[in-house]
Amino acid sequence: MTQGEATQFRTLCEQAGLAVTHQRQVIYEVLCSIEGHPSPEEVYARVKRSIPSVSLATVYKNLHLFINSGIFEQVSLHHGSMRVETNQTRHHHLLCTSCKTIHDIDPEVLGLPEVPRELPGGFRMERLAVDVLGICARCQAREAAEPGTIQ
């Protein structure tokens, strides 16, 4: 990690109210350097190269801290278990990042245009899944009433 990156990391920790530990710094460094969309196990394996004694629990705890602090994001919000789409009409989703609820939304409301079926690289599109991430009205009201409760 360069000096600039280390400084940036310290700033991020300060803003998030997190202590600057060696493990945390290596996890951050691994995330920055890794290509793709790593799972906790993959991050753990890489961190282990620098810190053989690191535990998987520490990786999980720090990933959650990073995500809750907005330092990193998840690829798509996880609900712990699989969810089946029972609404057979074409629609997209409003996903509240605070209370994790999913609401359906009509594609018209978003006003998205048609996307080409054939994309660069030869990928053939079959369906567009749009998640609108944000804060639902209920959580906005809750946040206004009790500031600091939104994660």
Partner DNA sequence: ATGTGTGCAAATAATTTGCATTGAC
Partner DNA sequence: GTCAATGCAAATTATTTGCACACAT
Residues 6+ apart with CB under 8 A from 72: 31, 63, 66
Residue 61: which of a second copy, DNA, none does it interact with, CB under 5 to 8 A by kind? DNA
Long-range contacts of 86-89 (CB under 8 A, 24+ apart): none
Binding site for DNA (CB under 7 A): 13, 18-24, 39-41, 51, 53-58, 60-62, 64-65, 78, 80-82
Considering beta carbons, is residue 80 or 120 the nearer one to DNA?
80
Considering beta carbons, is residue 84 or 145 the nearer one to DNA?
84
Distance CA 150, CA 98 (A): 6
First to last CA, the chain: 29
DSSP 88: -
For the bound state, the minimum distance from the C-beta of residue 79 to a second copy, rounded and expressed in Å, comes to 7
For the bound state, the minimum distance from the C-beta of residue 34 to DNA, rounded and expressed in Å, comes to 16
Residue 36: which of a second copy, DNA, none does it interact with, CB under 5 to 8 A by kind? a second copy
For the bound state, the minimum distance from the C-beta of residue 112 to a second copy, rounded and expressed in Å, comes to 6
Total Cβ atoms within 10 A of residue 47 = 23
